[in-house]
Amino acid sequence: MIRVYARRIGVLAGLTALAGTAFLSGPAAQAAPPTPPSAATARTYLSELTVSAEGSSSGYSRDKFPHWITQSGACNTREVVLKRDGSNVQQDSSCAAVSGTWYSPYDGATWRSAADVDIDHVVPLAEAWRSGASSWTTARRQGFANDLTRAQLIAVTDNVNQSKGDQDPAEWLPSRTGYRCMYARMWVQVKHHYDLTVDSAEKSALSSILNGC
């Protein structure tokens, strides 16, 4: 993973010098996930969450959160989010994105290939499992993993998503500090809606961010 990440960084350094290539430095016009509650509302939501030590990862599997499911026609959840979060996205007959641009708000990179973009679960599946989803039905976990109604899914740079893994905001935050307030609002909305717990360090990190919004 480290070697892959380093190789990607090296590639980015070369690409930034080339106009019209896969990577563009600087923001681009972009659609976005559903808008989360305001910072004030998020603070209220955070105060209502149960504080508890994280549960065990025992028994966890991504297969227990079925995704990406069909949303309409030939389009699955990933393809819907790629279309929603990108600009000028063109899809083929099977709904695959064949062109467009995607701005990753976590790190400020813009990509012209859908292969460079992951769909991040803002609250990771494994984090949800340890915070209460282990007791859910498979149907509820499927709804969580494919939730287009709340700010739970977002298109971001693939390596950034992979570096985040299943970490919570006490352990990982977007490198773009200007996006951290939005990220905290998104995180709290999802945890509140699904009645997931927060651990003490996670709550402290979220409180600090939201108090500075």
Q: For residues 11 and 113, is the Cβ–Cβ distance under 8 A?
A: no
Residue 32: the pLDDT is 82
Chain segment 173-194, per-residue pLDDT in tens: 999 999 999 999 999 999 999 9
Beta carbons of 30 and 100 less than 8 angstroms apart:
no
Amino acid 31: pLDDT: 65
Whether the predicted pLDDT of 6 surpasses 60 = no
| pTM of the model as a whole | 0.86
Residue-wise over 44-53: b if at least 16 C-beta within 10 A, else e?
Answer: ebbeebeeee
Q: How many H-runs (helices) and E-runs (strands) does the chain carry?
A: 8, 8
CA Rg value for the chain: 17
Q: Are 148 and 154 in contact (CB under 8 A)?
A: no
Query: How large is the average pLDDT for residues 80-90?
Result: 97
**AA letter at 207:** S
Cα–Cα distance between 191 and 131 in angstroms, integer?
9
Percent of the chain with pLDDT over 90: 85
